[in-house]
Amino acid sequence: MIVDTHYHFIPFSGGTKLPQGLIDNWYNAGDCSGIKKSKEEVTSLYNDYVDDPDFSKIIRRMNEGGIDVTVVLLVDNVNYGYSSESLKKVHERFSKTIARHPGRLIPMASVDPRRPDAPALFRTFVTEFKMKGLKWHTGAGFYPNTQEAYAVLKVADELGVPLLAHTGPLPEYAAKYSQVIHLDDIAHDFPNLKIIAAHMGFGFWRDWLAIATYKKNIYGDLAGWQLNAESKPHLFRRDLREILDTVGPERLLFSSDGPILEPFVSNQHAVNLMKALTRKDKNDIRFSKEEVTAMLGGNAARIFGLT
């Protein structure tokens, strides 16, 4: 089983074009990796990918890439100005659309903890809309270990669903909110909560590794790492080997960060890059089939209760 644990639902459809500022941010995230694509090509793909109101396009690309299940994320940010009622309607529509593809798509809710009614909203999204976890993009301007955040995490812990929190710097956000160290408090105070550090902190991955060594409920997803796997394969293999040699292969999850990075490295190619890890490189670094199988889907299947 191959599971992509990090794919964003972007609520644009019906020919609506993405704002140029958003495209510029996404493009910069991919371009800084050294993989050079024209902005025109990337923009065209972005607008095609997000115009997918029934998720038929992502299902088609999953089939092409051999991906069995994709975890699809919403991102809430109080700075967008949405009311709680609007957020509820988005989640309800999102859930009903995903239900058209049973067994293929897993929905994760997102509630900014700065909302006064955040705990109640999140409970509704899980119990009524059948969401399977909590997605936070802390770069939006909040820390994940505040009193307000803990009020939402208590609901996630009670309901037995995981947290997937962004970690690491991005062009458009302040990195101070997304430092991996903030997850250490959560892992300590909620020892039964499964915590997935999206991107493993990017360049802060050694911070993630230091914490994950002792906090067994902290996981890491590989969203964005396919860029290095493509452009800097020797560094990708070296760093990944160090991670697995330290904490083992059981806590890493294959993730695409689609559609944001998809124009630079297709999800199909990202899967193939992972499978190629079983082949020895010029530095004699390789990975066992069991390690690759765990990262590609075995670990995600365990976290999300897939069969």
Q: What pLDDT digit, counting tens, does each position of 66-121 carry?
A: 999 999 999 999 998 889 999 999 999 999 999 999 999 999 999 999 999 999 99
Question: Containing domain of residue 70, as a range?
Answer: 3-303
CATH number for 101: 3.20.20.140
Nearest Cα to 91, choosing from 119, 130, 58, 144?
130
pTM of the model as a whole: 0.95
User: What integer pLDDT is reported at residue 283 of this predicted model?
Assistant: 84
Task: Decide if 14 contacts 51 (C-beta within 8 A).
Answer: yes
CA torsion 182-186-189-194 (nearest 10°) is -150
Scanning the structure block, which residue is given the tokens 């089983």? 1
Q: Is the pLDDT of residue 208 over 90?
A: yes
| pLDDT category of residue 12 using cuts at 50, 70 and 90 | low
The helix (H) or strand (E) run that includes residue 221 is strand 218-221
Q: Per-residue pLDDT tens for 159-174?
A: 999 999 999 998 778 8
CA dist 188 and 211 (Å) reads: 11
Look up residue 249 and give its two tokens. Answer: 């292969």
Number of domains in the chain: 1
